[in-house]
Amino acid sequence: MADRRFRIAAAVLVAVAAYALLVPWLFGIDDRLTDFAAARRAPSGAHWFGTDAAGRDLFVRVAAAIRVSLLVAAASALLATVLGTLVGTASALAGGWVDRLVMRVADTTNALPHLLLGIVIVALFRGSVPAVVLSIALTHWVQVARVVRAETLSVREHDYLAAARLAGAGPGYLLLRHVLPAVAPQALIAVVLLLPHAVWHESTLSFLGFGLPPHAPSLGTLLEETRSSLLLGGWWTLAFPAGVLVVTTVAVAIAGSALRARLIPPKPARLLS
């Protein structure tokens, strides 16, 4: 059942990626061009997803929006994972008061509302893609750091690590040769599982007007533009971007859960004596 879900989710993601990459190229339509004479047209053979308030073809614009949202989400997830991995391994290897201090900082960061903290960060550099990436990464590294720290503490107690220390291996060698390869599966899973969260956060920030600028197509900016169209009966301006957002995030979440089950199988239950 898990393999079947993974195959279905992977097929959906391949279809979404092909849609995002090929549609703008095949149709040859610039998603930034406006045609107010064709504004708010319902879905038809000429415009499969209809048009928005500026007369732009939503079938092409949603494809461009997916590409931007996924790129921002991937960069955010990767940065959060790298930051969490570095903090988690350093905290576990240092131990003592350093480990306690890092964990208290992590607790404090985790206690803050992620969306509110993200808004504060992006408000300083409004309309900046790096600010959006940084805001998502700085609010999602804690979970990665905790998982990596726990895995590093487990690896630190293994006999082969003690043998490497007795053989004269330095901290850098131990980190690169033993610790990081052991936590790499957890880091890979973290990147995949963070993707749907990053997509939702980018969409929410852009929807609230704090994320990407209005002219940049992303799923959040497209949803923000639907406010006036919905009042005039333009249901398609919300249905198609929201539908693509839900399908993409659910497929990524399912694929991430299946990948986690493959890379990290559940531990066998211990028999009670």
pLDDT surpassing 70 at residue 206: yes
For 51, the 3-state DSSP assignment is strand
Question: Which long-range contacts (C-beta less than 8 Å, at least 24 apart) are formed by 217-221?
Answer: 217/31, 217/61, 217/64, 217/65, 217/68, 218/65, 218/68, 218/69, 218/72, 219/62, 219/65, 219/66, 219/69, 219/244, 219/245, 220/69, 221/65
Give residues with Cβ within 8 angstroms of 50, minimum separation 6. 40, 41, 42, 43, 44, 58, 234, 236, 237, 240
pLDDT above 60 (res 66): yes
The reply to whether 115 falls in a domain is yes
Q: How far apart are CA 234 and CA 253, in angstroms?
A: 30
pLDDT higher than threshold 60 for residue 269: no
Residue 112's pLDDT is 79
> Is 19 part of a structural domain of the chain?
no
The helix, strand and coil proportions of the chain, stated in percent and rounded to the nearest 5, come to: 75, 0, 25
Distance of CA 13 to the CA centre of its chain: 14
On whether residue 17 sits in a domain, the answer given is no
User: Which positions ≥6 away from 181 have C-beta within 8 Å?
Assistant: none
Q: pLDDT of 128-151, one tens digit each? A: 788 888 888 888 888 888 888 888
CATH number at residue 206: 1.10.3720.10
Is residue 110 in some structural domain?
yes
In terms of Cβ atoms closer than 10 Å to its own Cβ (0-12, 13-18, 19+), residue 273 is exposed
In this structure, is residue 222 part of a structural domain? Answer: yes
Q: What is the pLDDT of residue 13?
A: 83
Give residue 127's domain range. 58-263
User: What's the structural domain count of the chain?
Assistant: 1
- Percent of the chain having pLDDT more than 70? 83
Rounded to two decimals, what is the model's pTM? 0.79
Looking at residue 30, the DSSP 8-state letter turns out to be: -
DSSP 45: S
- Rounded to 10 deg, the angle between the 180-207 and 58-94 helix axes is 140
Average pLDDT estimate for 196-217: 79
pLDDT of residue 36: 75
